[in-house]
Structure 1
C-alpha cells in the first residue's frame, strides 16, 4: 500500500466526517413542536396554529402545535424547560406568562429573561370588555354603578389564573371600582360560552374570540382596550373614551412571543426569527392576521422581544398593588 494511496484514503475519510458533521448541523431536520399553555380553540391556539402552518412552509419541515393547558401556563412552561435546547421544542408565550404575571407575582418557578431563549415577537392583540347581554349595563360607568348597588352579584370570567384576561379583570376591578368575583376557565372561548348561559357576567377577551358573538348580539361590548376603536367594532369605545382614569394601563391587552429553552443556539434562533419575520411582513399573511384574528403582526429581532418583555414586566410591577393572582 503506497503512501499516496493511504493519504487518499485519509483524505476521503476526513471529507466523509466533515460531510456528516455538516449534515448533522442542518436545522431543522425534523418536526418542530410549538407548546401552547391553553386548550385548543382559544386565541393563543389560533395564532400559534396560523404561524405553525406558515413556518412549516418557510422552514420546509412540519411544525406541530401541542396544547398543554393548566396552572396558568405552568404545565407548558415546565415542558419547555425540560426540553432539549435544540430548536425542536418552542413555546408560544403570551403577555401574561412572559411579563404580566412575572411583574405582579413574586416567587414564580421561572424567570422569562433567564430561563427562555428569545426567538421573536409574533403579534399583539387588543382586548374587548364584554358583558352578558342580560346584565343591565351599557358602559363601564354603568357597570361600576351596578356593582356598587349589587356588591356580591357580579362575577368575571378568565382563561385561567394569571392569564391576561384574569390580570386585566383584576386591574379593571380595582381601578374602576367594580366589585367582581373571579371565575377561572381554561381558554378564552370558555368565557364567551359561559356568557351565553348566563353563568358569567363580565369578561375581557381578545377581539378574535369575541367579535362574532358581539356581532350576533349574544354578548355586549362595553369598551375596547387601547387608545382607539376597532374597525370591526365601531360602536365600542376605547378605554380612552370610557371616562375612567387609569385604564390606559391595559394597553396592550396581550402579545404573543415565540421562545425556546435556555441555551438555544443563536443560529437556530435567528433562522426561526427570520422565518417569523417573513410571515409577519407578508402582505397576505398580515391581512389574514388582522382580519381573521384581529391581531397586529409584529417583526423584529430576538433582542427586540427581550426588550419588550423587560419593559412590560416593569410596567406590571408598578401595577402590583391593583391585582390579586391568588385567584
Structure 2
C-alpha cells in the first residue's frame, strides 16, 4: 500500500497532466472579445489595449465584437451563449450590477458568470457648468433650500450614475431632479451648456473637461483626492463618507466553460495585467488600472451588487 503522502503527490501529478492535456487543444481557433457597448467608450478603449496582448499570450487570433444595447445585456447574453471558452466579455457595473437589480430581468445571473480578472477602477465626479456653483457648499445649500429644483444628469436611466444620484440624495440629505441621458458624452455636453445644473460623470470623462476649463468639478467620489485632479476635493474629506463610490471594469466568461480553460484565461490575463507596459497603456486611455485575479473580482462584483440592492430598496429607480 502506498503512503498517503505519496498518493497525494501522485494525484497532483495526474491533475497537472490532465490540465496540460486540455491546454494542448485550447485555444485552437479565434477568441471573440465581446464589448457590450458601442465603439469609442472607455470600455471599448481598454479592450482594444488587451485584445492584441491576449492574442500574443495565447498565440491565437482575438477579435473584438461590439454588441451594444439594453444596458450591456445584449452583448453579455451573446458572450454567455457559448460555453467552450471562445467568447469572453467586458464585465462591469452595468451588466454585472444594475441590470441584475432593476429593469427587465436579463437571461443570466451572477452565478452564470466566471470572472477572469478585474482590469480597472473609475471614480465618479460631480461636474457643473463653470460659474453655476461657486463651490460644493454652494451646491449643497441650494439643493437643500430648494428641494426638487436642482437637476443632476446621469448617463442613463438605471445606470450606475443614476444609482449614484440616488446614493447622493440619501448621503447628503437632499432632493434633486434626476435627468437621464442615453450616453456619457450627451450628459457632459448638457452639463457644459447648463442644460442641467450638475452631472455625474466618470473621472476619465471629467479629467479632460475640468483640465480644459469647460466644466468645474464639485467633488470626486473617493476617500482621497485624485492626483490628476488636484483641485477637486474628495467627498469623504468634505464630510460625507456615505457618498464614497466607484466604478469598475473587468473580464468574464460563462461559468459553464471547462475549469481548465478558465484557468488558462486567468493565467494569461495575470501576465498581461502585471506588465508595466499594459498598465501604462490602460492609464493612457483615462482609466486607473486596478488588477484583481478572477476570484477576488468575483467578490468585488458581489459586494457591489449588495450595495446597489440597498440603494434600490429605498427608492424607485424607474425615473
Shared fold (TM-score, shorter chain, > 0.5)? yes
Is 1:35–1:66's contact at 8 Å kept on the other side of the alignment?
yes
Any idea what the Cα deviations from partners look like across 1:53-86, whole Å, max 9, x if unmatched? 32222223333333333322222233234x2112
**Structure 1 residues 71, 182: CA separation in 2 closer, same or farther (over 3 Å shift)?**
farther
Match of 2:72 in 1: 73
Instruction: Give 1:32 deviation, angstroms.
Output: 2.2
CA distance in 2, matches of 1:203, 1:43: 18
2:199 is aligned, of 191, 196, 203, to 203
Is 1:170–1:322's contact at 8 Å kept on the other side of the alignment?
no
Any idea what the Cα deviations from partners look like across 1:231-250, whole Å, max 9, x if unmatched? 100111111112235213x2
Match of 1:294 in 2: 287
CA distance in 1, matches of 2:158, 2:35: 15
Any idea what the Cα deviations from partners look like across 1:205-253, whole Å, max 9, x if unmatched? 22112201110111111111121111100111111112235213x2xx1
Q: Counterparts of 1:151-230 in structure 2 under 5 Å?
A: 151-230=147-226
CA distance in 2, matches of 1:110, 1:144: 40
**Structure 1 residues 314, 23: CA separation in 2 closer, same or farther (over 3 Å shift)?**
closer
| 2:57 is equivalent to residue 61 of structure 1 | no
Q: Counterparts of 1:1-327 in structure 2 under 5 Å?
A: 26-81=25-80, 83-102=81-100, 104-105=101-102, 108-139=105-136, 141-244=137-240, 246-248=242-244, 250=245, 253-300=246-293, 302-327=294-319
**Structure 1 residues 111, 23: CA separation in 2 closer, same or farther (over 3 Å shift)?**
closer
**Structure 1 residues 276, 236: CA separation in 2 closer, same or farther (over 3 Å shift)?**
same
Is 2:166–2:311's contact at 8 Å kept on the other side of the alignment?
no
**Structure 1 residues 182, 63: CA separation in 2 closer, same or farther (over 3 Å shift)?**
farther
Is 2:126–2:217's contact at 8 Å kept on the other side of the alignment?
yes
CA distance in 2, matches of 1:260, 1:171: 30
Structure with the bigger percentage of helix: 1
Is 1:155–1:182's contact at 8 Å kept on the other side of the alignment?
yes
- In structure 1, stretches of 5+ residues that fail to align are 1-21
Match of 1:9 in 2: none
Report the TM-score when normalising by structure 1.
Answer: 0.81
- SS in structure 2 of the partner of residue 175 of structure 1: helix
Is 1:70–1:186's contact at 8 Å kept on the other side of the alignment?
no
Instruction: Give 1:111 deviation, angstroms.
Output: 5.0
Larger radius of gyration: 1
- SS in structure 2 of the partner of residue 319 of structure 1: helix
**Structure 1 residues 172, 101: CA separation in 2 closer, same or farther (over 3 Å shift)?**
farther
- SS in structure 2 of the partner of residue 284 of structure 1: helix
CA distance in 1, matches of 2:58, 2:179: 40
**Structure 1 residues 182, 129: CA separation in 2 closer, same or farther (over 3 Å shift)?**
same
CA distance in 1, matches of 2:151, 2:298: 35
CA distance in 2, matches of 1:312, 1:153: 30
RMSD: 2.6
CA distance in 1, matches of 2:103, 2:179: 22
